[in-house]
C-alpha cells in the first residue's frame, strides 16, 4: 500500500516536472518566439551616395495597395517570390560591393560558399554537406524573405585556428647572428578547422572540415562543441528558474574541405558580413 | 498456483517503477539536448504554418509587385555591372600562395604559385616590424622593367647590418626584384624573385613574388589602373 502511494506521488511529481521542462524549454520558445526576426532596413543614403543617384528600393517597400481578398494563382505568387529572392540577394550584394571588405556568400541552392570582394568572386568552394535546422528549412519560403533581406553581420566567433598568427623574431645583433638565424622555409601545416560564427538575427553558422581531424584537432573541435552545448544547457536551466527562454538559434552547418575552410576563415575580416541564398 | 502469483507481484511492482524513472530521464534529456528537441518541435509547428505573405492580395497588386521587383532587379544589375573591373585583374590567395590572372569577363587566363608575406614580427629594440601581405583591393600604380630596389631600414635590421644613410648607395639593389615590378601602393609590389624554389611558400616581407614566366605574362596583361585583389 505504502509503495503504491509512493509510486503515484513520484510519478505525478515527475510528470509535472516533465511538463514544466517541456513547456519552458521547448514548447514556449518554439511556438511563441520568432526565431527569424525581420531584418531592420537601414538608411541607404550612404549606399545611394556611393552607387549613384538612383535610389535603392528598400525591402518591404512593395506593399500591395489593394485590400481585396482574392485567391491568387500559385504561378504569379511563385514568380513574385522568386523575383523577391533575387532582388534581396542582389541588393545585399550591391550594399556589400560598395564596401572595401571581403564577405561570404552562402549559396545553399547550388551548394557553394563564395568569398567575394566588390562583387568579384575571389574564392569558390563546393559545400560537401549542409545541415539546416528545421526552424529555417521548414519556414515559409516567403516569410524567410524578411529575415534574409539584409546581409548578416557577425556578432561572435569561435575557431580552432587563429585568424592571424605571427612568428616573433628578435633582430640579430650582427651578421654572424643573422646567418645563424637563417632557416629553410617550410610549408605551414594546416590545423584542423571548426568555426562557429554567430550572426545577428539569431543565425549560427558552423563551418567544419570534411577530413578526419588528428588527436589535437579533435580535442580542440570537441572543446568548442562542448562549450556551445554547455551554453545551451545553462540557458535551459536559467529558463526553468525564470520561466523564460530566449528564441531558438537557427543553425546552418556546412562541411567543406579543410583547405577551403582555412581560406574562408583567414580571409574574412574580423567583422564579416554574410549573404544567404536559399 | 498461489506461489506463482506471489512471485510475479514483486516483479511487476519493480517493473512499474520504470515509468517515473523514464519521466525523470526524459526531463533531464530535454534540458541536456534542448536544441534537438526544439528542432523536432518545429516540425510540429510548421504543420500549422502561417499563410503566405502574398495571400489575400489581389492579382493586380501581385502583378504590380512583380513589375516593380523586375525594375528594381534590372536597376541593381546595372549598378553591379558598373562595379566590375574594366581591365584584366589579378587575384592573390595568401593562404595557399597562389594567384589567378583574369580577363575583364572574369575568366581565368593563368594561374600559378606565388610567394606572399611570411607573417613575421621582427622586434628590434622599441621597433616592431610586421612582414605580411595586406589584404583587400589595390590598383597597379606603376610598372617598371629592371627596377632597382631601394632597401628600407628593415632589410639591414634583419641582416644584422648597420643602417646606412637614406641616400647611401648601399641601399640600391639591382637584382632582387627581377625583370619586372608593379607597384600597388604603400611600398608593396608584385615582382620577380631570385629564390624561385621558395615559390608557393610564405617567405616575403609583404610583396607578392612571382616566377619569371608568370611575372612576364602578368606584367604584359596588367596595365596601370588594373585591380589587384588580395585575400
Q: What is the pLDDT of residues B199-225, one digit of tens each?
A: 999 999 999 999 999 999 999 999 999
Residue-range domain boundaries for chain A: 1-32
The pLDDT value recorded for residue B49 is 61
How far apart, in whole angstroms, are the C-alpha atoms of residue B129 and residue B188?
Answer: 15
pLDDT tier, A67 (very low <50, low <70, confident <90, very high otherwise): very low
**The model's pTM:** 0.84
Query: Domains in chain B, start-ordered, CATH in brackets?
Result: 2-82 (no CATH), 89-230 (2.40.440.10)
Grid cell locating B224: 596601370
Query: A5 versus A126: which is more confidently predicted?
Result: A126
Distance from CA of A277 to the nearest CA of B (A): 16
Q: Indicate which of A3, A9, A14 best probes the interface with B, i.e. most B CBs within 10 Å of its own CB.
A: A14
ipTM here: 0.84
What is the per-residue DSSP string for B128-153? EEEE----EEEE--EEEESPPEE--H
Distance from CA of A227 to the nearest CA of B (A): 13
Of A25, A68, A173, the CB nearest to B58: A68
Pairing of strands B208-210, B188-191: parallel
Q: Indicate which of A72, A115, A189, A240 best probes the interface with B, i.e. most B CBs within 10 Å of its own CB.
A: A72
Of B50, B75, B121, the CB nearest to A166: B121
pLDDT tier, B107 (very low <50, low <70, confident <90, very high otherwise): very high
Residue B157 in contact with residue B163, Cβ under 8 Å?
yes
Residue A86 in contact with residue A98, Cβ under 8 Å?
no
Query: A242 versus A209: which is more confidently predicted?
Result: A209
Q: Do B50 and A120 touch (CB under 8 A)?
A: no
Q: What kind and span of H or E run contains B45?
A: helix B34-45
The CA-based angle B153-B159-B164, given to 5 degrees, is: 40
Residue A273 in contact with residue A203, Cβ under 8 Å?
no
Q: Do B20 and A7 touch (CB under 8 A)?
A: yes
Q: Do A17 and B23 touch (CB under 8 A)?
A: yes
Amino acid at each position: 500500500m505504502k509503495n503504491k502511494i509512493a509510486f503515484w506521488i513520484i510519478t505525478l511529481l515527475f510528470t509535472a516536472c516533465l511538463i514544466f521542462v517541456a513547456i519552458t524549454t521547448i514548447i514556449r520558445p518554439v511556438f511563441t518566439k520568432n526565431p527569424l526576426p525581420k531584418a531592420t532596413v537601414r538608411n541607404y543614403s550612404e549606399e545611394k551616395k556611393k552607387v549613384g543617384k538612383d535610389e535603392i528600393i528598400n525591402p518591404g517597400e512593395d506593399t500591395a495597395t489593394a485590400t481585396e481578398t482574392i485567391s491568387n494563382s500559385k504561378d504569379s505568387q511563385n514568380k513574385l517570390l522568386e523575383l523577391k529572392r533575387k532582388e534581396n540577394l542582389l541588393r545585399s550584394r550591391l550594399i556589400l560591393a560598395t564596401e572595401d571588405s571581403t564577405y561570404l556568400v552562402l549559396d545553399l541552392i547550388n551548394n557553394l560558399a563564395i568569398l567575394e570582394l566588390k562583387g568579384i568572386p575571389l574564392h569558390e568552394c563546393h559545400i560537401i554537406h549542409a545541415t539546416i535546422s528545421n526552424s529555417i528549412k521548414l519556414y515559409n519560403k516567403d516569410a524567410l524573405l524578411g529575415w534574409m533581406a539584409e546581409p548578416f553581420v557577425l556578432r561572435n566567433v569561435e575557431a580552432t585556428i587563429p585568424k592571424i598568427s605571427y612568428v616573433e623574431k628578435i633582430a640579430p645583433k650582427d651578421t654572424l647572428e643573422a646567418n645563424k638565424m637563417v632557416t629553410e622555409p617550410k610549408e605551414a601545416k594546416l590545423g584542423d578547422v571548426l568555426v562557429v560564427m554567430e550572426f545577428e538575427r539569431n543565425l549560427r553558422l558552423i563551418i567544419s572540415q570534411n577530413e578526419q581531424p588528428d588527436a589535437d584537432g579533435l580535442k580542440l573541435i570537441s572543446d568548442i562543441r562542448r562549450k556551445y552545448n554547455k551554453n545551451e544547457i545553462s540557458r535551459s536551466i536559467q529558463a526553468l528558474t525564470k520561466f523564460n527562454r530566449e528564441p531558438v538559434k537557427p543553425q546552418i552547418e556546412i562541411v567543406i574541405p579543410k583547405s577551403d575552410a582555412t581560406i574562408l576563415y583567414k580571409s574574412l575580416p574580423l567583422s564579416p558580413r554574410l549573404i544567404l541564398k536559399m | 498456483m498461489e506461489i506463482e502469483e506471489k512471485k510475479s507481484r514483486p516483479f511487476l511492482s519493480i517493473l512499474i517503477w520504470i515509468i517515473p524513472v523514464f519521466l525523470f530521464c526524459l526531463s533531464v534529456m530535454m534540458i541536456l539536448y534542448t536544441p534537438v528537441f526544439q528542432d523536432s518541435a518545429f516540425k510540429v509547428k510548421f504543420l500549422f504554418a502561417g499563410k503566405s505573405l502574398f495571400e489575400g492580395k489581389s492579382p493586380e497588386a501581385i502583378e504590380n509587385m512583380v513589375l516593380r521587383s523586375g525594375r528594381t532587379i534590372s536597376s541593381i544589375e546595372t549598378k553591379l555591372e558598373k562595379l566590375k573591373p574594366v581591365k584584366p585583374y589579378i587575384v592573390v590567395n595568401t593562404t595557399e600562395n597562389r594567384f589567378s590572372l583574369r580577363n575583364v569577363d572574369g575568366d581565368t587566363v593563368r594561374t600559378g604559385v606565388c610567394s606572399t608575406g611570411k607573417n613575421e614580427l621582427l622586434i628590434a629594440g622599441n621597433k616592431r616590424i610586421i612582414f605580411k601581405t595586406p589584404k583587400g583591393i589595390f590598383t597597379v600604380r606603376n610598372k617598371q622593367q629592371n627596377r632597382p630596389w631601394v632597401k628600407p631600414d628593415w632589410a639591414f635590421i634583419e641582416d644584422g647590418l648597420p643602417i646606412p644613410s637614406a641616400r647611401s648607395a648601399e641601399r640600391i639593389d639591382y637584382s632582387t626584384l627581377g625583370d619586372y615590378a608593379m607597384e600597388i601602393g604603400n611600398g608593396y609590389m608584385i615582382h620577380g624573385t631570385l629564390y624561385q624554389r621558395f615559390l608557393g611558400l610564405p617567405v616575403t616581407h609583404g610583396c607578392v613574388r612571382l616566377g619569371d614566366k608568370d611575372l612576364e605574362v602578368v606584367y604584359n596583361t596588367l596595365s596601370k589602373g588594373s585591380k589587384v585583389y588580395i585575400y
